[in-house]
Structure 1
Amino acid sequence: MKTRSRWLTGLWVLIVVVAALAFIFKMTEFAMTWVDPATDRFGGFAAIAVGMYLVGMFPILFLMLWAVFRGHFRDIERPKYRMLELQEEIDQYGNRIPPN
């Protein structure tokens, strides 16, 4: 693995870990607000906030996992080259049907 790839991978892991820890910290704060007897009025707020985070997070997580398991991230450069090939065909043939 090249040095640049290792550096980018390390940076990516660091960012994901920090974001995950921040998310877990925020969810823990909401949960503690929810069960704290001194904040009876704000318990509903915590329940709604946690519920909305989960409702928003789970579809994104499942969509990401679906894409990973379907292999959509194996060759992320392929769509770019396919688009350029299609543009060349459009430039070459215009409105005519290209020969197969």
Structure 2
Amino acid sequence: IEASAMGCPVIAFNHGGAAESILPGVTGWLAEPVSATSLAECLKEAITMKPRARMTLSKKAREFVGKNFNSTKMCDETIGIYEKLMARRRRA
């Protein structure tokens, strides 16, 4: 998330948090887990990308992170989780 926020295209394995924070081909690349071939394909695509396309991807990555992982949204989601847990506790 931090790299995307700084406009750095990200290549990661499609596992865990990366799957939620990268839109393949839009904000970065997701390689199939434990596949060197898939990772190499992503690297090749990133390296051979034209500068204008790379700039567009960088801009979209920054926008995506700013919209989906900002402190207000993250705090609201965390508070929502706590509220659900407290509501369950009250019903029990």
TM over 0.5: no
Q: Which has the larger radius of gyration?
A: 1
**Greater RCO (CA < 8 Å, at least 6 residues apart):** 2
Structure number with the higher helix fraction is: 1
Structure number with the higher strand fraction is: 2
TM-score by length of 2: 0.37
